[in-house]
Amino acid sequence: MTETTLCYLEKDGCYLMLYRNKKENDLNEGKWIGVGGKIEGRETPEEGARREILEETGLYARELKLRAVITFLSDRWNDERMYLFTSSDFEGTLKECDEGELLWVPVEKVLSLPSWEGDRLFLDRIKNPEQEYFSLSLDYMGDVLQHAVLWENGRETVLK
């Protein structure tokens, strides 16, 4: 199972979103996501997230908040365990990303952007800063979400 990170940088009521439109054979092509990528070697999720944020945006995240662990299952792509972070404590100058276009998007408009159905489930939860840690399992057939299970506060809830 591939381990990855995803981070939503927050500033002035906006998330920094990445429109994936530059990378060949990109399973996220045409979708808006946060920034992140594969955890390399012996990196911790936090180290991987910081490196990916810096590589894709030019920004250094001083503080990261782990919000969730998301498990993606797919009939088409490698299964993935993703560590989902948010950060409002970062520094640096935003640079151009070689994987797509970066844009600050108001949080209330993020769910209206083209994205994975499962992303909408966790984005809806993390927009509340008081939301506690949760785990989510998303099972896809192609681009279609077939099954979604949420675990939080010791309870399992089938969302789809």
2-158 topology per CATH: Nucleoside Triphosphate Pyrophosphohydrolase (3.90.79)
Segment 2-54, tens digit of pLDDT: 999 999 999 999 999 999 787 677 666 778 999 999 999 999 999 999 999 99
Share of the chain above pLDDT 90, in %: 79
Summarize pLDDT for 127-137 with one digit per residue, the tens. 888 888 999 99
User: Which pTM does this prediction carry?
Assistant: 0.93
What are the residues whose beta carbons fall under 8 Å from the beta carbon of 76, sequence distance 6 or more?
140, 141, 142
